Amino acid sequence: MKIANFERILSGFFDFKILSSHFKFITMSLEKDVMTQMKAAMKAKDSAALEALRAVKGAILLAKTENSQQELTEDQELKIVQKLVKQRKDSAQVYREQNREDLAVPEEQQAEVISQFLPEQLSEAEIEAKVEEIIAKTGADGMKDMGKVMGVASQELAGKADGKTISLIVKKKLA
């Protein structure tokens, strides 16, 4: 149901200005949220945040044009944000290996700005508990079953944990 229909239906029952603004905030897409934060970063003259937010906006627009869609699903948006965070962290790691701290710091700052769009990440203990449940559920009993466990774990923990962390924990538990 579209927001306009809600407005028409609910206008007689509630103080509509408050309800309408609250409802629109809840349904705000990632793209609109990024635009709002871009405006705030421009006003604050925060160039690092602005650069990161522009990267998110660009990735969203690129995904929309590739798929010729009007709106992206939450899963698609989540994958885009995860990809951007991973790129920034990998770049920072490479810069550190090359002793280029001056380039690593901005990459980490951008990763931090972009990661605010991700759902809250699980702690390592929570991931271990979930992986143990998955191992019990799948009946895995060694490294030969790692693919089976990783498939289920990747689906269940999508967006809540980094794939690299999941993989390390699965290897540790199956070894």
- pLDDT, position 106: 95
Residue 69 DSSP label: -
Residues belonging to the chain: 175
The domains of the chain are located at 30-115, 124-174
Could you tell me which residue, 65 or 5, shows the higher pLDDT? 65
**C-alpha–C-alpha distance, residues 36 and 116, integer Å:** 14
**Is the CB of residue 138 less than 8 Å from the CB of residue 145?**
yes
The structure tokens listed for 18 are 């408050």
Is 15 a residue whose pLDDT tops 60?
A: no
Is 135 a residue whose pLDDT tops 70?
A: yes
Is 8 a residue whose pLDDT tops 80?
A: no
- pLDDT, position 72: 84
Question: What does pLDDT average to over the chain?
Answer: 83
From 33-42, 96-105, 162-171, the region with the lowest mean pLDDT: 162-171
- pLDDT, position 28: 60
Instruction: Give CATH superfamily name and number for 30-115.
Output: Uncharacterised protein YqeY/AIM41, N-terminal domain (1.10.1510.10)
Is 14 a residue whose pLDDT tops 70?
A: no
Sign of the four-CA dihedral 100, 102, 103, 106: positive
Average pLDDT in the 13-42 region? Answer: 66
From 33-47, 82-96, 153-167, the region with the lowest mean pLDDT: 153-167
**C-alpha–C-alpha distance, residues 93 and 98, integer Å:** 9
Is 23 a residue whose pLDDT tops 50?
A: no
Question: Do the first three CATH levels of 30-115 and 124-174 match, i.e. the same topology?
Answer: no
Q: Per residue in 44-83, pLDDT tens?
A: 999 999 999 999 999 999 998 987 877 888 888 888 999 9
- The domain 124-174 is classified under which CATH number: 1.10.10.410, 3.40.50.2300, 1.10.10.60, 3.30.365.10? 1.10.10.410
**C-alpha–C-alpha distance, residues 59 and 36, integer Å:** 16
